[in-house]
Structure 1
């Protein structure tokens, strides 16, 4: 529940019900008889940071792929702000305001950070990928490019080839590319994967900044990251929702403890 600082008739705070940004109903994906996602009913509230966690193979990435249109569901529905987007391709879901980062970086080493963001902005529909247009026209988004790079702390490296960036800086650049869509909903797949402690701390603060005014769904195995950022946590196991609640609730849930200990025992 979100508090309205404006106050009610008696001068006290007004409690407003948050809208549901992303909702699934009985969402299921079957791969050759294997139920990777099994009847998942998920509600992500607008303005929240909602974490998806679970042991390896729990279905987290498949659920992400379903929500962003990279995989079509076997059954069930997906809604974004009450609009049914079930089975729509990724570009259509992106136009509905859902942007995604991936677990594995996919950047062009020879291009600079600035050039990556310029290309991302060209793809938002204002001018398309019209590379023959004049440099003057292509440069009209300069202020927005610099704003996006500034948001993720990369302006000092704007003209550095991406191949020369550190791993954490590349992940930050990917976030800026997702932000170029100005999305109300961002899905972040393992944003701190492979990072050292300093990069993890910087990424936590970065995600906290970009989450202001938007909804974020994230997958991360680092429970310190989840505990630092998440308003709500959904735990998946074998494609189903095992538990849900705030961070303290789920980390003390015996079913969750058993699921993670079971994974460690069989590792």
Structure 2
């Protein structure tokens, strides 16, 4: 289990940034962002293309080092730490673009994800028994995302929405208190979007979720709080109804998306 602060749940902040800034050759992709993500909530980051959402995600998960500012996870400073160290603090991430091995099954993917943090690592080929040592947990994770009937099917044969569900199970393998989901419904049809909303709702129980999604139906269905970014800065923040009625937000982004 990951250690967390002893503050009360209502007061506890899972992820906090203070004056977080990332500059690329003079361009301020993230500009003095102050963000507080409360434990046990779903917090959405929205904004037009180029607003800085993905850059902020990359900073929070250690794929980029900030130019200035700080990042804390349950009050522990993780600023500038590499991704594997931040993952050990209980932060797991899914990516916008799927990155799976087509010839491997869903079961094999999850088994490897479970072995990754252990001493076994990638030495699983030394014994056939090792590949099945986490069978119960593998079945649980695949069941959580609805892939039990497809557990032994090569991933290359799965539908796009099923691949995204598998990626969520890989993130869940770390049993993370915090999950960051980058465009979890990107490229999906309406039916897959609705299934993914329900899936995210289920896995959010008992943990903190930060998500980026351009689909306002997704944001409105899931988010307890919404932060709107524009040109790297926080433009507005509040619950979904507050931000969707904010004139600045309507002008910058939601004016088009709200009617979609």
TM-score, structure 1 as length reference: 0.91
3-state DSSP class of the match of 1:132? helix
- Cα distance in 2 for partners of 1:243, 1:23 equals 17
Report the Cα distance in structure 2 between the residues aligned to 1:126 and 1:63, rounded to whole angstroms.
32
- The question of whether the paired residues in 1 share the 8 Å contact of 2:249 and 2:255 is answered with no
Mapped partners of 1:29, 1:97: distance in 2: 23
2: distance between equivalents of 1:91 and 1:64?
15
Q: What is the CA–CA distance in structure 2 between the aligned matches of 1:230 and 1:266, rounded to whole Å? A: 18
Residues 98 and 16 of structure 1: CA distance in aligned 2, closer, same or farther (over 3 Å): closer
| More off after superposition, 150-159 vs 117-126 | 117-126
Aligned partners of 2:200 and 2:110: how far apart in 1? 18
Alpha-carbon contact 1:55-1:263 (below 8 Å) kept: no
Aligned-partner Cα distance in 2 for 1:169–1:16: 33
C-alpha contact 2:65 2:80 (8 A) present in aligned 1 = yes
Q: Distance in 2 between matches of 1:266 and 1:206?
A: 25
Q: Note closer, same or farther for the CA distance 1:82–1:166 as it changes in structure 2 (3 Å cut).
A: same
Equivalent residues of 2:9, 2:39 under 8 A apart: no
- Structure 1, 145-154 or 117-126: larger mean CA deviation: 117-126
Instruction: For 2:16 and 2:184, locate their aligned partners in 1 and report how far apart those are by CA, in whole Å.
Output: 22
Decide which of 125, 129, 144 is 1:132's aligned counterpart: 125
Q: How many residues align?
A: 253
List structure 1 segments (4+ residues) > 4 angstroms apart after TM superposition.
261-267
Whole-angstrom distance in 2 between the partners of 1:247 and 1:265:
11
- Distance across 1 between alignment mates of 2:131 and 2:254: 54
1:193 aligns with 2:189: no
Give deviations 1:77-132, integer Å, cap 9, x for gaps. Answer: 00000000000000000000000000000001110100100111110225222133
Gaps of 5+ in 2: 1-7
1:173-201 alpha-carbon deviations (Å, 9 max, x no partner): 00000000000000000000000000000
Q: Which structure has the larger Rg over C-alpha atoms?
A: 1
Identify unmatched segments of 5+ residues in structure 1: 1-14
Cα RMSD over matched residues?
A: 2.1
User: Cα distance, 1:17 vs. partner?
Assistant: 2.6
Gap change, CA 1:248 and 1:143, over 3 Å in 2: same
1:261 CA drift (Å): 6.7
1:138 to partner: Cα distance = 2.7
